[in-house]
Homo-oligomer: A and B are copies of this chain.
Amino acid sequence: MPRPSRWNEIIEAAAEAFRTNGYAATSLEDIASAVGMWKGSLYHYIDSKEDLLFAVVRGPAEEILKQVRELSETDLPPTEKIRRATRSHVQILNSNFVYASVYLQEIAGRRKLPEWSAMDREYLDLLESIVREGVDSGEFSAVTNPRVTTLALIGSLNWLTHWYRPGGSLHADEIADQFCDLFLGGLISRKTQASRSQTITPLKTTKPRAKRTA
């Protein structure tokens, strides 16, 4: 795992190529020429082509899972949890757009390595348990199947890679809020007007935790 900036150039070039042409259709020469070196020289940084894919994809995958883990440990009301989880998802998609797109196209699809499948499943389970909280508390009275509901939300979010582009006219926060209004309105059905944003506490103040892996 080299550190210097050249490594970042390689990963960025790989991510961009993977996103536009797909992993299998991208050759190491595509990546090498994009950073101005010979394809054989890439092997000073990697052991195989797959290393590039995993390096591209690891960051946002771990980040999005970390954020929903922390969110799940709070005792916010379910509506607010849904809103924050949606914002996290959209914001990570926005700020790591290329990497996240590669993950969704190359990992969440076909590639069934257990490492990534476990992350996908944990993320789904965490979101689903939030939905179940809302069902148990009576807030999400319209939900008949929490898993289907959760998958519908995740689908809308992940489909963003097909049409959203960072820097476009639609800002990430607006999209997240519109998704929340749409889904929470559906979840809550006809009940309180708690669907609007209420911003209980700022989003990323939860960092007193030093290192969790120790």
Nearest CB on B from A89, distance (A): 12
Q: Quick check: A159 and B151 within 8 Å, CB to CB? A: yes
Q: Quick check: B22 and A142 within 8 Å, CB to CB? A: no
Q: Which of A29-37, A68-76, A103-111, A201-209 contacts B (4 or more CB under 8 A)?
A: A103-111
Nearest CB on B from A13, distance (A): 17
Q: Quick check: B178 and A145 within 8 Å, CB to CB? A: yes
* In the complex, per-residue mask of A13-38: 1 if CB is within 8 Å of any chain B CB, else 0: 00000011110110000000000000
Q: Tell me if A116 counts as interface (CB < 8 A to partner B).
A: no
- Given the contacts A152-B179, A152-B182, A186-B181, A212 and B144 also touching, CB distance less than 8 Å: yes
The CA of A153 and the CA of B162, in the complex, are separated in Å by: 13
CB contact between A155 and one of B162, B170, B212 (< 8 Å): that residue: B162
A→B interface (CB under 8 Å):
19-22, 24-25, 105, 108-110, 142-145, 148-149, 151-160, 162-163, 170, 174-175, 178-179, 181-191, 193, 195, 212-213
